[in-house]
């Protein structure tokens, strides 16, 4: 039986790489269900993610689900892993602070499966001591991270904060689910 991955896509320029992630995960036999933060739609469309995952994208916490159970609970119950890629400073901070104001954060808090963050952000944001403290806090609580790499950033310079290579993220997923 296929393992179920909930892929959280957030508002980062790296959101387009979620498309490659979905394709690679599906080729490996994983079932992928996407959850979009409200800002993710500025970078990639739900239609693109639905086409690649072959599953309805969840983007609204209060839209009535097909079944009458809360959608964040049913997503969490079905998930073998929650992968947040790209993970912005915003979503990392909200989850570390216990903020449940969107479908992605609520799904994470309702899950009892492993959660893997793949951060992507500006180098100054990633190196900010507050974000580093939030990452350390979440790691201490058992959350998994695959760190960003040095690369070309949206601001035009090179630095740490570029999303880890998609192949490396998929390899980490395999290790966690093994």
Q: For residue 95, give both structure tokens.
A: 């989850």
Question: Which domain CATH number covers 90?
Answer: 3.40.50.1950
Residue 62 has pLDDT above 90, yes or no: no
Domain count, the chain: 1
How would DSSP label each residue in 33-69?
A: EEEE-TTGGGTS-HHHHHHHHTSPPB--TTSPPSSSS
Q: Model confidence over 1-42: pLDDT tens digits? A: 789 999 999 999 999 999 999 999 999 999 999 999 989 999
Cα–Cα distance between 99 and 91 in angstroms, integer?
A: 9
The reported pTM is: 0.92
Q: Is 155 a catalytic residue?
A: yes
- The domain in which residue 153 lies consists of 4-177
Torsion of CA 108, 114, 119, 124, to 10 degrees: 80
Q: Which of 34, 105, 113, 155 is catalytic?
A: 155
């Amino acid at each position: 039986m296929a393992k179920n991955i909930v892929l959280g896509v957030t508002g980062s320029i790296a959101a387009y790489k979620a498309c490659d992630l979905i394709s690679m995960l599906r080729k490996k036999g994983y079932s992928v269900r996407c959850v979009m933060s409200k800002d993710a739609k500025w970078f990639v469309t739900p239609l693109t993610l639905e086409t690649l995952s072959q599953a309805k994208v969840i983007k609204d916490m209060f839209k009535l689900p097909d079944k009458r159970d809360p959608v964040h609970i049913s997503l969490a119950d079905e998930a073998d892993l929650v992968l947040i890629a790209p993970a912005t400073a915003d979503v990392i901070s909200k989850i570390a602070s216990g903020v449940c104001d969107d479908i992605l954060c609520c799904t994470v808090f309702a899950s009892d499966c492993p959660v893997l963050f793949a951060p992507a952000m500006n180098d100054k944001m990633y190196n900010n001591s507050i974000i580093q403290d939030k990452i350390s806090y979440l790691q201490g609580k058992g959350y998994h991270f695959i760190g960003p790499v040095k690369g070309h950033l949206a601001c035009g310079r090179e630095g740490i904060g570029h999303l880890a290579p998609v192949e490396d993220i998929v390899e980490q997923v395999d290790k966690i689910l093994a």
